[in-house]
Structure 1
Amino acid sequence: MSSEFALDPLEHVLQVLLANDNAAVQHLPTVLTSLSSPDYARSQHLRKFCTRVNALIHAKEPAPRWAGILIAEHAFRLNKDAVLDSAQAWVTAVLPLLSRKEPAALWKAAIALLDTVFVTTANLAEFQRQVTNPNASKFGLALLALADKGDEELQIVVFTSLARLVAVFPTLVRPLHAQASALSLRFLQGRYPSQQPSALVSAAAQLHSVLHLTGGKVGGANLWKKSVDDALLAANAHVAELRSTFEDGQRRDAASSDPTVAIPHALDALRGTVALICHLLRSPSSRPLPVPIGSIVQLCRRLLQSTAEESLENAFEKSRRAMEAAAAPELWRLGCDLLSQTGPSIGRHLSGYLSQLLPLLVAHLERPAPLAQKTPVLKAFICLAEHCYPPDEPILLSRATKSLLPHLARLIAPRAAPSTTAQDKGQGQGKKRKTYEGGELFNVGSDVVFSSVAEGDASLLVLECMQWLLRNPSLPAHLHSLTGRLVLSLSLELTGIDASRLSVDDSLHARLVRKVGELGVELSCGRATMGRAVGVVVQTTGGSGGHASRQLDLLLRPRVPPIPRSKATLDSDVLVASDKAQEQAVASFIGLGGPAQTRTQVNGGDEMIVDAPASTPPFEPRVAPMPMTKAAPAPPPTTSAVVTAVDLSAPKTTLPVKESNIAPVWGAAFDVVKGAVAPAKPEVAKVAATPRPAGNASDDDDDEEMPTINMQSDSDDE
């Protein structure tokens, strides 16, 4: 049996799995798995299989019909050439089911089968002439009728199938343009009290964004432009209603509507309108379309400039103003979403508006808010970075960098150890909570760095933003250096953090390590530190390929001229003052380097560095024995010469140092000298002149007596 099943898989399916209607429903997953084999198309029982599927579609019970439709759709999607002859019969049998009262699951299966058959056979002219052309418009009418009958999932399936049908066969469904437009706009105009689901809004916007294709090559551009203009007008009207108490020109209609109904409804309608504009910017077209960039950017600015702190004297109710202020974060999100979709559509044409949009995004990055709430702002920031020319704004770049660094520094910030004195804290607060041995193993949520998946994904976006900022030559050098040091610290810190301690998503750790490695490689390329980054480059490649080969080739053979002389850079400075002092102390202790330096405090607290006296070994004079020869006559008595000599054997004097006053200062590369202190004077002693001691006993010249010099003689007289 196993060998026969391996040779002909459809024989086992027909004899066992599809023996009757109940077996077909019961063994449906097994049948679909068997059809995934590539050998079923060459089976000699293929015709019997198609006949059996057709019989299931014509069954009286809904369950066998549902199973037969799913089997037919799966078989046609895997190999349409094998079952193309039976597809016409399946379309004829399934299409009337959409007009009957059937279960929603049966309608979804029928829509999937018809959509697959019509779309995948668009390149077959004969099949399209015989099957698609007569039935495409009927299929579209049936879908429009089902949009009001089913639930949310069925409506999403209807909108998706209609959008594909319009995009592939715009001429066949041209009579349905008005009905489809009215249906899609009805789901985009908002709903109260509950808002429209986001998936349903996206499906309706996708359908409306392709309806301009029914106008042909000439009229399609006009229909698209009209749709965009209408959407922009509707969006501005909704924003005006949401900001009626904050804008002077929109006060007239605020008091005439109930804010508890008008504000949620306008906000939901604005979501649908922004989604429609985003889909219109992504819609296909056979010809270039005129995009109103200025109007779109103006709408983005209006959404991003919405604040809740503006003070405006008005006579409206406080409840309406409070509800409008509460809607401001949603307006920011919609503005960022619209900006993120505008960039890929118009490309570099957005660079002219960068000076208007970048300050708004930087201001939102500086807002004190959780990292997960800044995800739309980060996406919009990355969109501007990818589709605009680099801005020459050092101040804005510095502000953006300073606002992003704290989100990365939390990975290397010292984390407090788990508290073991929970019982001691609650002794004076009533009854103590009962604890169990090993209970700390279950409290993993308190030590996780990123408490949610969205927050972890936002950290990756922060790294992408930092990558773009570091590429900009207008970024100040000190921030570039500080960011590079932070990236180095992250690469060292992430290797010691467990994935479960980083986030609830275990894959975040690997993605962060890979992203930090790529950023570190990019920082080292083209610089003097490039030769020391071989390990990082090899680690980040992760395999073979063009990108990995390019990185290794760039590292081993850089296309830059050699540096003529070494020059100190900002990256070589020490950020912690205590590190440099410790190195100098060690060098002085082992006898290397220059004179040692000591720290002292002057003027009541200012630190300075004072060079201590050079270390010189003490001089110990030795007295040689007196010679035994007869001494010469003594010279005339003279006054004893008094000389001053430095007592080299005296101990060196050093200034007192207070260890408690030396503390590391983050960001200080050099010690600032604020005063000057004169070194201490050495001790001076007065000694009488003594005869010169013998330097070496073995030297014969030292034993001879010094001749007497007559100071009164005059050689010139001779």
Structure 2
Amino acid sequence: MENDATIQLKTLLLHLATDISSAQNLPHILDILTSEHLSSSPHLTKWTSRILSLLHSKDAPGKWAGLCLAHRTSLLSKSIMIEHAQQWLTIALRVLSRKEATPILKAAVNLCRIMFCSAMDVSEFQRQVCLPNVTKFTAATIALCDGEPELEFKVLLLNTLARVVPLYPNAHRSSHSALSGLCLKYLNGSAPLPTSVTLLRSSSRLYAVLPATGGKVGASNLWKKTVEETLTFGWTAFSSLRSSFSEGLCGFLATNAGFYNIPGSISRNEDVQVTIPLNLDRLRCFVVIINDLLGTGTQRSVQVPIGSLHKFAIALLTSTTAGRGPDNGHVDISTRSLEASVVPTLWKLGCEYVISLAIHLRHHLTSHLNGLTSCLASHLEQNSAGSQRLPFLDALYSILDHCFPLHSDVSCNRLTKAVLSSITVILPSQSDLDQSIDTIQAGRSKKGKKRARAYEGDEVFKASRNVLCPLSDDGKSVLIACDALALLLRNPGLSPVTHSLSVRVLLSILFFLPQRPSLSLSSDSTLHPKLLQKIQALVTESGCGTTNTASKSLGLVLRAVDLSKTDDNACQRTLDLLLHPRIPPLVRSLPHVETLSLFLSEEGTEEARDRELLGLSVLQHQATDPVQTTIVDLDQENHRVRPITPAKPPLLIPTNKPTPAHPGDSLPHAESTYIPPKPSYPPATALALGPPTRTTVKPEVIMAEAVEEDQAMPAIDLDSDSDPDSQ
């Protein structure tokens, strides 16, 4: 008795009765056909015979349907493919050698690729079917690429060759020159329009696997030669883009011109309107080629020129728009202006190049990390927009994620401060705080002044309605800065002062971010929850102590972090870190105060100096009521500043210690019992970020800070039976 799969296969054969019906019903047949239909059925012979008749069809629709059915059958049944591969492959190669329609050629290429790549474990099939036909397929594919087909078909041909060539390297040894010329045809850049991204990546992927044609012995040498030729190509393009800048560059190029065979001078007769876009596109091709070459492995170990790769990265990152012209020539103003305009693009390409080095070289790049991180830090310290900082943050995160931790304490602290300035933009500015204070004081004024009123719909006419991250790259830069800061805070070389300042800023952001409207942060509504989740993770990690002791910020973190938004496993891990039992008993002292400083009174001189360099300055409390405290909250609609009155600040109750003599004394030094408050608002007074003292940091922002306010307790006379106030 026939099963359901057999009946369905018989029904599908009825829809393939004619060539026209086969082409019309092909999409539905391909959706229904599964491996169960081809496993064991008495209609398999009819199925393969019908495919063969369609392949021999003289009509284009029938031939296209036959090629597609053969491709799907080969994917679903390996045994049927091995049995009929010789016939199907012969017909497909004959189709590729003729001038057929593009859909038919695409179907033939896909069928050949499946046959050459699917049965690599069957040695006899490889010897009798694949090896005699793979060179014919490569020659036909190269001929099709030379015919300048459409872009999509050209990308398909290059991707197919990139998969077939590494599987049969010895068979393609004689075709190495033809394949290399085919790749370099699309990797030489184009102007005025740049090379298509898909075509560039496909050509580069094929060019990177060509060294495998040298065999087990020659593949390593051929790979190294390809890398050196690519470096020469990149240096030539770069020197053409810096022909009017010689300060610090010509000497470097002169030193390495003999090794890289770099031309000593650039022809002045060329049109700069064409040469600059052309060489810029060539430099972009160089970055993609190096990335693919470093990601391609060889069967034997190979020597990578890390020093040469590092020098080129430094040259890209240190390109500037300033500097004198060449000593032996006249500087054309138009040439210099055009070359100066492409410097940001050179920086972006340099960052992409550094990302490739960090991902593929990893720990081999350790000796060169100081130079790369110094260049990235100098760019991050500039006062630039978030979209311009994104490439440098991406490069820095790749280095921190894939390479060993930074062994230089100076670089670690410098990078932390630079990355921190990219995150502090989330906090409100000094002008917002001043406006809120003026509004509060105006509301409390008793001189008969009219109170400022906000009307419904007034935000539409407000000119100061700005979005913090107007571009998508601005939001990405803040997110990647949080990821980079998380890795930097784990570095053991980070100074306690910088670590303390970073934690205080993160806590301030965590207090303020839930109050900030999501639309005031970015037009993308998903940025606010993503950023809040990253800040919560950073604060939680910094607030957790060791397995024997918890940080002073235990209650603060538990109150600020919303554990309900995390998954169960993450919540369990967080609680385990925060509430771990003290077993064995605590036998060592608590961490130093400066590593856990959350209060302004604990701030040291060095930390105060770093805070002022980052634009963070103390704002004196201006509220007249000693009990109530005012903080800033921006209205979600029109960004109006309104006061919020939180509950009392958390108390530190000293034990076995006398009362301070004066109300302004510092915090008690004895062990204290922490009583966490119930409200979710940050406690006590605020810190404001004043105007920056350097031009290389971000504008002013506001940081909330919890300050202890101890008051002297009045003396109580136990012998008296009356109230002291009545005396």
TM-score for both structures, normalised by structure 1: 0.72
Aligned to 1:367: 382
Residue among 78, 81, 94 paired with 2:79: 81
Matched, 1:121 2:125: no
Aligned to 1:255: 268
Matched, 1:405 2:403: no
Q: What does 1:655-694 align with in structure 2 at a 5 Å threshold?
A: 665-666=688-689
Contact 2:67 2:111 in 1 (8 A): yes
Aligned to 1:386: 401
* C-alpha displacement of 1:401: 3.0
Which of 340-349 and 3-12 deviates more? 3-12
Where 2:492 maps in the other structure, the secondary structure is coil
Closer, same or farther: CA 670–33 of 1 in aligned 2, 3 Å? closer
* C-alpha displacement of 1:471: 1.2
* C-alpha displacement of 1:168: 0.9
Q: What is the identity, as a one-letter code, of the residue corresponding to 1:472? A: N
* C-alpha displacement of 1:573: 0.8
Rounded to whole Å, the distance in 2 between the matches of 1:388 and 1:40 is 50
Which of 216-225 and 27-36 deviates more? 27-36
Matched, 1:172 2:191: no
Q: What is the identity, as a one-letter code, of the residue corresponding to 1:359? A: S
Closer, same or farther: CA 440–668 of 1 in aligned 2, 3 Å? closer
Which of 133-142 and 498-507 deviates more? 498-507
Residue among 284, 290, 295 paired with 2:303: 290
* C-alpha displacement of 1:122: 1.3
Post-superposition Cα deviations, 1:232-255, rounded to whole Å, max 9, x if no partner, equal: 112112111111110246884342
Aligned to 1:523: 542
Q: C-alpha root-mean-square deviation of aligned residues, in Å?
A: 4.1
Closer, same or farther: CA 467–49 of 1 in aligned 2, 3 Å? same
Rounded to whole Å, the distance in 1 between the matches of 2:539 and 2:663 is 36
- The share of aligned pairs that are identical, in percent, is 32
Post-superposition Cα deviations, 1:536-573, rounded to whole Å, max 9, x if no partner, equal: 596576255xx887666555548997374556444331
Where 1:81 maps in the other structure, the secondary structure is helix
Residue among 490, 497, 500 paired with 1:481: 500
Matched, 1:562 2:560: no
Aligned to 1:193: 192
Rounded to whole Å, the distance in 1 between the matches of 2:12 and 2:494 is 67
Aligned to 1:205: 204
Aligned to 1:604: none
Contact 1:398 1:479 in 2 (8 A): yes
Closer, same or farther: CA 266–43 of 1 in aligned 2, 3 Å? same
Matched, 1:572 2:584: no
Q: What does 1:286-685 align with in structure 2 at a 5 Å threshold?
A: 286-312=299-325, 315-413=330-428, 449-491=468-510, 503=522, 508=527, 511-526=530-545, 528-529=550-551, 532=555, 539=564, 542-543=567-568, 554-555=577-578, 557=580, 562=586, 564=588, 568-569=593-594, 570-574=596-600, 597=663, 665-666=688-689
Which of 307-316 and 390-399 deviates more? 390-399
Residue among 265, 277, 283 paired with 1:264: 277
* C-alpha displacement of 1:263: 1.5
Contact 1:190 1:196 in 2 (8 A): yes
Where 1:316 maps in the other structure, the secondary structure is coil
How many residue pairs end up in the alignment?
Answer: 585
Where 1:401 maps in the other structure, the secondary structure is helix
Where 1:266 maps in the other structure, the secondary structure is helix
Post-superposition Cα deviations, 1:24-68, rounded to whole Å, max 9, x if no partner, equal: 333333222212465553444333333333333333232333233
Closer, same or farther: CA 572–462 of 1 in aligned 2, 3 Å? closer
Contact 1:50 1:83 in 2 (8 A): no
Matched, 1:32 2:30: yes
Post-superposition Cα deviations, 1:566-623, rounded to whole Å, max 9, x if no partner, equal: 56444331486767999976899x9x9767859xxxxxxxxx99xxxxxxxxxxxxxx
Q: Which ranges in structure 2 are unaligned for 5 or more consecutive residues?
A: 255-262, 433-455, 602-617, 629-647, 654-658, 667-684, 690-702, 708-719, 722-727
Aligned to 1:104: 102
Q: What is the identity, as a one-letter code, of the residue corresponding to 2:359? A: P
Closer, same or farther: CA 556–45 of 1 in aligned 2, 3 Å? farther
Post-superposition Cα deviations, 1:3-39, rounded to whole Å, max 9, x if no partner, equal: 97677432332234x3433333333332222124655
Rounded to whole Å, the distance in 2 between the matches of 1:320 and 1:170 is 46
Aligned to 1:68: 66
Contact 1:300 1:335 in 2 (8 A): yes
Contact 1:306 1:331 in 2 (8 A): yes
Closer, same or farther: CA 256–128 of 1 in aligned 2, 3 Å? same
Rounded to whole Å, the distance in 2 between the matches of 1:81 and 1:560 is 64
Post-superposition Cα deviations, 1:377-428, rounded to whole Å, max 9, x if no partner, equal: 2222122213433335454444433333343334443799xxxxxxxxxxxx
Contact 1:366 1:403 in 2 (8 A): yes
Q: What is the identity, as a one-letter code, of the residue corresponding to 1:572? A: L
Aligned to 1:237: 236
Closer, same or farther: CA 60–471 of 1 in aligned 2, 3 Å? same
Rounded to whole Å, the distance in 1 between the matches of 2:80 and 2:527 is 44
Aligned to 2:46: 48
* C-alpha displacement of 1:501: 6.8
Contact 2:158 2:203 in 1 (8 A): yes
Rounded to whole Å, the distance in 2 between the matches of 1:69 and 1:493 is 62
Aligned to 1:656: none
Contact 2:598 2:706 in 1 (8 A): no
Closer, same or farther: CA 56–514 of 1 in aligned 2, 3 Å? farther
* C-alpha displacement of 1:81: 3.4
* C-alpha displacement of 1:203: 1.3
Contact 1:577 1:669 in 2 (8 A): no
